[in-house]
Structure 1
Amino acid sequence: MMNQNIRLIFQTIIFLLFTAILQAQTNNLIYLWPDKVPNERMEKQLPVQTDNTSGNVTRITDVTNPALVVFKPEKSNNSGVGILICPGGGYNILAIDKEGYEIAEWLNKLGYTAFVLQYRVPNKQLGALNDIQRAIRVVRNNAKKYNLDAEKIGLIGFSAGGSLCARASTRFTIDSYPKTDAIDQLSCKPNFSMLIYPAYLDKGKDRSITPELVLSNNIPPFFIFGTADDPYGNSSLVFTQALRDNGTPIELHLLPKGGHGYGIRPGNIAAETWPNLAKKWLLER
């Protein structure tokens, strides 16, 4: 009984903190779809926080009203770069703090404006693609508002979020939803893409590149980081090989250990390594 009470108290604290974060971010929230959400049968509602807080991770699901949470740096680096963040979660949930808000705070410290994408889950991969294409256009449309260069809008994604970034970075010539307004006339092509322990990129025959990922001669440059002991590690290797064969600028880093889902939290060699490499790569862009 005591353990159950402690767990209930802990979950209540986490929920209150999560609610406080959402309330604090209300003024920095951009809903992607002013009217009907394409390919969505559910009514718009707030996302649901799951009961699973293992690993001290806040997970949300039942996203039906996709949005961007804006994180502006206290001191901009004046690069004009804006970065959309796609948390992972197997297209079932979003690890919204570990692979979203915490990444945004790191980017803010580097002077970048960041946008955490709350894309549709669970099991709505087409909807997720709709959302990221729209999100890129929305950020591009608001570039002046956030002192950004409309041609310096990039992506960073983790696990399934890495899959989503790869899809957006290879399928930008194919509209996944009907155009509805002037924003949809803008390009949904990202200017660069960073994939951190990406998953689901090797769904082709004999674990080859996922057929959905269409490679052309104007794919944006990629930064990819993974580890050899990651159960999804083949995704990084297969996708990198395909990009290399395509002549796309690509930088791959593969550590022997680190596993999967480590985010940017200390205590994991991979989590402590990729940020500095990504920081350098961004500066070189």
Structure 2
Amino acid sequence: MKKNKNLDRQAYFIFMLITLGINILSYGQDKVIPLWKNQIPNEIISTSYQELNSYKNGEIESSSQVSKPTLSLFLPKKTKTNGTAVLIFPGGGYSHLAVNKEGTKVAQWLNTMGITAFVLKYRLPSNKIMENKSIGPLQDAQEAIRYIRRNATQLNIDKKKIGVIGFSAGGHLASTLSTNYNKQVYHSIDSTSARPNFSILIYPVISMNSKITHLGSQVNLLGNSASSSSIERFSNDLQITSETPETFIVHASDDTVVSAKNSLNYYEGLIQHHVPVELHLYEKGGHGFGLGRNETSHFWTTDCHNWMKSHNYITQ
């Protein structure tokens, strides 16, 4: 009998190790939440379309072919939660998600300021799994904000302090949500608002105009022969209203992948509509610098910290 108990304990211990190992290997997050409880809107079920992940040092670096979106929750560990939450959209040209550099690491940085962070592994536009691929990412983004706001009380989050941060194509999704939060792209279960209270855009794709857009993002989202109406609809500098959330923007002048004109156009649009905005256009940094490089772009996190403090999203 004693031997059987020992075997049971060993089996349980091994099970816990495997479980913990999976969590560590995934992101090191506190919880992974399926975004949609029931049927995913706009979904085409394809058994041959499976998520692909690339790893580095035991961590997921990149995800592609995402068909089952999730929210990864990161709670502050060493700093008291301050009531602010940020939803993170990793970039990747709408072809993959840089979930480590522009997801996990960003969440951990936000945690140091007492911010509760969520990384959204959103569906990447594909005709294989979506009836309308152009709205798939926005559907996930709207539902993610609604999930955070619905569960704000139990997560110690202030419903008026829920923001978004997006990198590159993730910046396009963040600005799409910020300008299209009230556009009905699926049937919500309630009237919870999908409006972010603020947005942080890092080297974002803003426009779908072929002269300044990132062509890979344009093609992946809208297809090879996008109509002029689709290009206009998803050029977020043209969708700004006075209700667009206050915004902090970062770009590098020497970015040859996504022109800084994207950020400049969004900045000018926000100014025209009297929306509070701060733009940092650094001399050097290129594209995809994440939390910073040893160039002028290295300091954007300090500038962002100061901006959030000045708007009372953090206190320290």
Q: What is the TM-score when the length of structure 1 is the normalising length?
A: 0.83
Give 1:103 shift.
Answer: 0.2
In the other structure, the counterpart of 2:186 is 177
Please tell me whether residue 140 in structure 1 is matched to residue 146 in structure 2: no
Letter in 2 for 1:202: S
1:60–1:93 contact (8 Å) kept in structure 2: yes
Tell me the secondary structure at the aligned position of residue 42 of structure 2.
coil
In the other structure, the counterpart of 2:97 is 94
Please tell me whether residue 39 in structure 1 is matched to residue 74 in structure 2: no
**Larger CA deviation: 209-218 vs 34-43:** 209-218
Aligned residues: 260
**1:165/1:23 Cα in 2 relative to 1: closer, same or farther (>3 Å)?**
closer
In the other structure, the counterpart of 2:203 is 197
Q: State the alpha-carbon separation in 2 of the partners of residues 122 and 205 from structure 1.
A: 19
1:183-227 CA distance string (max 9 Å, x none):
xx200000000000001x122486599543322221110000001
Q: Equivalent residues in 2 for 1:17-166 (5 A)?
A: 20-22=24-26, 24-25=28-29, 28-42=31-45, 47-50=51-54, 58-123=61-126, 124-166=133-175
Q: State the alpha-carbon separation in 2 of the partners of residues 206 and 265 from structure 1.
A: 27
Q: State the alpha-carbon separation in 2 of the partners of residues 91 and 197 from structure 1.
A: 15
Q: What is the TM-score when the length of structure 2 is the normalising length?
A: 0.76
**1:238/1:265 Cα in 2 relative to 1: closer, same or farther (>3 Å)?**
closer
In the other structure, the counterpart of 1:9 is none
Q: State the alpha-carbon separation in 2 of the partners of residues 29 and 57 from structure 1.
A: 14
**1:262/1:38 Cα in 2 relative to 1: closer, same or farther (>3 Å)?**
same
Give 1:76 shift.
Answer: 4.2
2:35–2:140 contact (8 Å) kept in structure 1: yes
Q: CA RMSD in A?
A: 2.5
1:217–1:247 contact (8 Å) kept in structure 2: yes
Tell me the secondary structure at the aligned position of residue 154 of structure 1.
strand
Q: State the alpha-carbon separation in 2 of the partners of residues 136 and 126 from structure 1.
A: 16
In the other structure, the counterpart of 2:17 is none
Tell me the secondary structure at the aligned position of residue 244 of structure 2.
coil
Give 1:122 shift.
Answer: 4.7
1:43–1:64 contact (8 Å) kept in structure 2: no
Letter in 2 for 1:134: E
Please tell me whether residue 283 in structure 1 is matched to residue 309 in structure 2: yes
1:110-129 CA distance string (max 9 Å, x none):
11110001001254441110
Q: State the alpha-carbon separation in 2 of the partners of residues 138 and 57 from structure 1.
A: 24
**1:242/1:207 Cα in 2 relative to 1: closer, same or farther (>3 Å)?**
farther
2:25–2:60 contact (8 Å) kept in structure 1: no
Query: Which has the greater radius of gyration?
Result: 2
